[in-house]
Structure 1
Amino acid sequence: MSSRRKLSSALIVLLAAALPLTACSSSSEEQTSTSSATREFTDVHGTTEVPENPQRVVVLEPLELDTAIALGITPVGAAVANNVTGIPAYLGVDGIEPVGIVSEPNIEAIAALEPDLILGTDSRHAEIYDRLESIAPTVFMTTHVDPWKDNVVFIGDALGKKQESEDLIQGFNDKCEEIKSEHDVEGKTVNMIRPRDEQTMSLYGPTSFAGSSLECAGLTIPDQEWKDGL
């Protein structure tokens, strides 16, 4: 399993463990009424009307996919890291259609799914925002390198589950405290390293998921001149 898959797998496990997910049944009339209701939501592109209870979500960012599933929402479509591996099997869900890769989402594939909400990232997808907005209400995080906890709450809010997303983060923080109390981590330094090829490796800094998780658990990351968390 690649380092990226391991990190994303860790996120979905931690988030899912933090908040037990329950399925609620309701009548078809109640579902129709709820799914048709809308509310205003503000992102980097301004204010747009989004469904209060989105039923057909398309996500263009791995963190958006992980967070949606941890909140009990299975997107109908998702951009993937690459077309070979597709939707990560470790997520444990079926029925998600790949809609291109994260850096190049497939507009036609997205439109074919008839989404009622699209989630993306301005730093990656700004050039196609207008085309996406013509398909369905579209919400963009500012950038995928912002502190991931903030982005999890932003995604949860867009999905109508802000409180649940805050509960996920609290559960994550509680787990960190549990690890601190069970292990001798004080004064120890560590760095997560990802070899990319024969000449390049990445070190994960304090604002990355990997780095912030290590620090949350009481470990210390050596000082570096971090750029976008790496």
Structure 2
Amino acid sequence: MLKRLTLLVVALSVASAQSPCVLRVEHALGTACLKGRVERVAVLDWRPLEDLLLLGVKPVAGADLKDFPKWVPLDLPSGLPDLGSRTEPNLERLAALRPDLILGYSGFQGRLYPRLEALAPTVLLDYLPPKEQLSAMRAHFRLHARMVGKEGEADRILRNLDRKLAQARSLLAQKGLLQKPFLLLQPWTDGQVANVFTRDTLASELLEAMGLRNAWTGGAEAFGLSRVGLEGLAALFREHPSALVFYIAQPNFAPKVEALKPAGVRLLALPEDTWTYGGPASAEALVDRILGALGR
């Protein structure tokens, strides 16, 4: 099996070297050379999968497909092959699909880049840059669209997102909530610790684009999040007694946080499957869930 994979890689590499680039794409780990119309895209991460599906493009395969519909508000096409884990995709299965392009995330598939690039032009983007993640999400969506010839559709989808954000600002203005301070928490399953979203996260940037203001000023750890225990949360609530506290629900967290919050702090639960790392479809879903928690 390994010998067949090696021969296939060599054949693909020879054929690829014989034609010029139609489009060069800079990405987190290098430059991809696209040599013609892209029709067979293999996707190794959820963000590019969401983007392609939203653009009306069916990839030849995806990864971690069982869990994708639990988080991302899009339906998967029937019969879409699953390449296995996002961090350990099946490369023999991937090679057999003969993709024109491979899309993924530098954080999960970066160590596989040389092997992926040997199979097909590979674009691995950093979906969680240290700052301006909302701008990065828009730019990545446009780039995915450009590679598959769907730039006009991407413009339409991003205009819809802008309209939704403007409508949200209008609704918040009617409620007297513009520039209202907020905290956004994602509790751990043990209910003893929560991640607090800093201003340098996609979710926080979306809430601020809606017209709210992130009250958290602490430094970030991984992925732009700060880890805070129950005592830290109690102090945070005392420091920001007028803040709207949104939290992604965990069954054993609500009783604990209700017991420690002072009077006046407003706790607002979001559904447990709220996804904060996606593309435009996930962004619109988050806006809707925030407005839903506020009673629209």
- Common topology (TM > 0.5): yes
| Matching of residue 218 in structure 1 with residue 211 in structure 2 | yes
| Matching of residue 196 in structure 1 with residue 188 in structure 2 | yes
| Matching of residue 71 in structure 1 with residue 55 in structure 2 | yes
Match of 2:178 in 1: 186
Q: Across the two proteins, how many residue pairs are aligned to each other?
A: 190
Q: Deviations over 1:137-169 (max 9, x none)?
A: 11111x221312332223223333345334422
In structure 1, how many angstroms separate the alpha carbons of the residues matched to 2:199 and 2:157?
A: 20
| Displacement of 1:73 | 0.8
| Displacement of 1:177 | 0.7
- Whichever residue aligns with residue 138 of structure 2, its letter is K
2:143 is aligned, of 149, 154, 163, to: 154
2:109 is aligned, of 114, 125, 129, to: 125
Where do residues 1-230 of structure 1 align in structure 2 (5 Å cutoff)? 38-50=22-34, 52-80=36-64, 85-88=66-69, 90-92=73-75, 93-141=77-125, 143-146=126-129, 147=133, 148-183=137-172, 184=175, 185-198=177-190, 199-222=192-215, 223-227=217-221, 228-230=223-225
- Whichever residue aligns with residue 165 of structure 2, its letter is C
Secondary structure at the residue paired with 1:193?
strand
Stretches (4+) displaced over 6 A: none
Unaligned runs of 5+ in 1: 1-36
CA separation of 1:49 and 1:191: change in aligned 2, threshold 3 A? same
Q: TM-score, normalised by structure 2?
A: 0.57
Q: Does the Cα contact within 8 Å between 2:102 and 2:121 map onto a contact in 1?
A: yes
Q: Does the Cα contact within 8 Å between 1:100 and 1:106 map onto a contact in 2?
A: yes
Secondary structure at the residue paired with 1:105?
coil
- Whichever residue aligns with residue 229 of structure 1, its letter is G
Unaligned runs of 5+ in 2: 1-20, 226-296
Q: TM-score, normalised by structure 1?
A: 0.72
CA RMSD after TM alignment: 2.4
